[in-house]
């Protein structure tokens, strides 16, 4: 079974770099991202029309290409929304809006096999690369260890409960969800507002104290450089729609200028 490359990076104290898949659901896109040298890709199900079939195909191709597929599920209420993505080959989950330790504990129990959790047992599928080891206990341990759990902090409640959230066995990293968090803090979309800056500093302080990798999306190398100096270890860089829009809008503007087209 393929190991999760993020686990090895974090064990060495190194940052992991990826991007979001929100628009392009062609499996070749996974190969392209891997060829670019990224470590992971987030397959977005909360804000897209991607189906479980789309995610299954993309996750399978990502695994084959050597890039870790991480799924953000549409929600946390149904355990099936979580386990189906993992059974489809996801090597981790990005959990939206984790507001308390109890919610995270419930999710971990639903997504980890015995003895940590109660995930429905399935020892042959995309998540095992269709291999079945002779020793079930060894296979279960390897699957549990290889699947990462990233909790998104998107509310004041989540910020307040962060020390308890970080204490849950099975949490691998914390991500700030800036848009929803800014809205909950009363400054929607104002990511440079002092309230958002204070929230970011709280996440960094708590996670550093607990030795939990932390991060958020960065949109350019200047921002990435700033946060790498602070110790960020989970960095989705832009997303497919943003990269396409930024590249082609800059090209269109440049071409019209060169051709003196108004």
pLDDT, tens only, 5-18: 999 999 999 999 99
Residue 200 is part of which domain span?
5-258
Radius of gyration of the chain, Cα coordinates, nearest whole angstrom: 19
- Asked whether residue 70 carries a pLDDT value surpassing 80, the answer given is yes
Instruction: Give one DSSP letter per residue of 126-165, joined into a string.
Output: GGGTT---S-HHHHHHHHHHH-EEEEEE-SHHHHHTHHHH
Kindly report whether the peptide bond that precedes residue 115 is cis, defined as omega within 30 degrees of 0: yes
Q: Domain total for the chain?
A: 1
The CATH code of the domain that includes 23 is 3.20.20.60
DSSP state at residue 68: E
Give 17-60 pLDDT, tens digit per residue: 999 999 999 999 999 999 999 999 999 999 999 999 999 999 99
**CA end-to-end span of the chain, whole Å?**
56
Which residues, listed in sequence order, are joined to residue 17 by a DSSP beta bridge? 235
Give 185-212 pLDDT, tens digit per residue: 999 999 999 999 999 999 999 999 999 9
């Amino acid at each position: 079974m393929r190991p999760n490359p993020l686990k090895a990076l974090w064990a060495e104290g190194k940052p992991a770099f990826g991007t979001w898949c929100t628009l392009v659901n062609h499996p070749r896109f996974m190969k392209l991202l891997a060829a670019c040298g990224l470590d992971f890709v987030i397959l977005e199900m909360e804000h897209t029309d991607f189906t479980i079939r789309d995610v299954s195909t993309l996750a399978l191709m990502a695994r084959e290409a050597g890039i870790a597929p991480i799924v953000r599920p549409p929600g946390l209420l149904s355990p099936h929304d979580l386990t189906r993505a993992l059974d489809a080959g996801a090597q981790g989950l990005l959990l939206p809006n984790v507001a308390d330790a109890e919610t995270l504990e419930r999710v971990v129990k639903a997504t980890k096999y015995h003895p940590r959790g109660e995930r429905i047992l399935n020892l042959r599928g995309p998540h095992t690369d269709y291999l079945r080891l002779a020793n079930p206990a060894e296979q279960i341990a390897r699957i549990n260890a290889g699947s990462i759990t990233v909790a998104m902090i998107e509310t004041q409640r989540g910020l307040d409960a962060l020390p308890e959230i970080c204490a849950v066995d099975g949490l691998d990293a914390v991500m700030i969800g800036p848009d929803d968090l800014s809205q909950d803090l009363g400054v929607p979309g104002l990511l440079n507002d002092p309230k958002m800056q204070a929230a970011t500093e709280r996440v960094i302080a708590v996670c550093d104290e607990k030795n939990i990798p932390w991060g958020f999306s960065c949109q350019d190398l200047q921002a990435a450089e700033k946060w790498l100096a602070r110790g960020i270890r989970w960095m989705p860089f832009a997303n497919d729609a943003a990269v396409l829009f930024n590249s082609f809008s800059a090209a269109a503007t440049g071409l019209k200028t060169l051709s003196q087209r108004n």
